Amino acid sequence: MLLKLEGIMSPDEVAACRALIDSGEWVDGNETSGHQSRLAKNNLQLRSGSAKERQAGEMVAAALGRTPRFVAAALPLKVFPPLFNRYGGGQAFGAHVDNAIRQVQGTEFRIRSDLSCTLFLTEPEDYDGGELVIEDLYGEQRVKLRAGDMVLYPASSLHHVTPVTRGERISSFFWLQSMVRDHGEREQLYRLDCSIQTLSAERGGQDPVVLELTNLYHNLLRRWADT
């Protein structure tokens, strides 16, 4: 399931995040790459482990926590600390698949990467190119969102970023381990949750159908989730 989430961060939050990271130290993006990604990657990345990366990452994490649709779709168990990248001057990221296991350097924190996330921090009219192209069963999905919007997609997907030929594309990217490993099960839970919320708004939370569907949702989550 590929999901576009609008308004994860407000314009003011985007501006505050950009002011913080724009003044940080940017290094070769391969600082945190695996072997396969190193062959395809050409971009810059905010210095890993720096104070500004941590502060900006906390801003992103706080915004995610205020977004019920993100929680419903991802069912996050563990979230990798957000990273930040920058593309310009023809830089791109060729076709690759994200590593199955991600570990924070110098720590024991690691996750199974079930979902990949890209939070856009540059308005699309400010740069040419820079589309995130994700391959799925329905073909290529090309993603270029407003600043503050995010795309959530399976980390198992083959994907790439097209060359940025004008301006700069700045984003936050990270991965998460979901409580529900299986993508199909997670999608069914998300669709069921959305239907429950719609019916609850129309009929009220104590409606018998809403209660029955809520019971079904939690029993499926109980069966499928790891905590």
Q: Locate 30 and state its tokens.
A: 């391969």
Does residue 223 contact residue 105 with C-beta atoms inside 8 Å? no
Name the one residue in this structure whose structure tokens are 């992103």. 60
Binding positions for 2-oxoglutarate are 169
Residue list, annotated binding site for Fe cation: 96, 98, 159
Amino acid at 210: V
Phi, psi of 138 (to 5 degrees): -100, 10
| Phi and psi torsions of 23, nearest 5° | -90, 5
CA distance 203 to 199: 6
Q: Which residues are annotated as a binding site?
A: 96, 98, 159, 169
d(CA 40, CA 93): 6
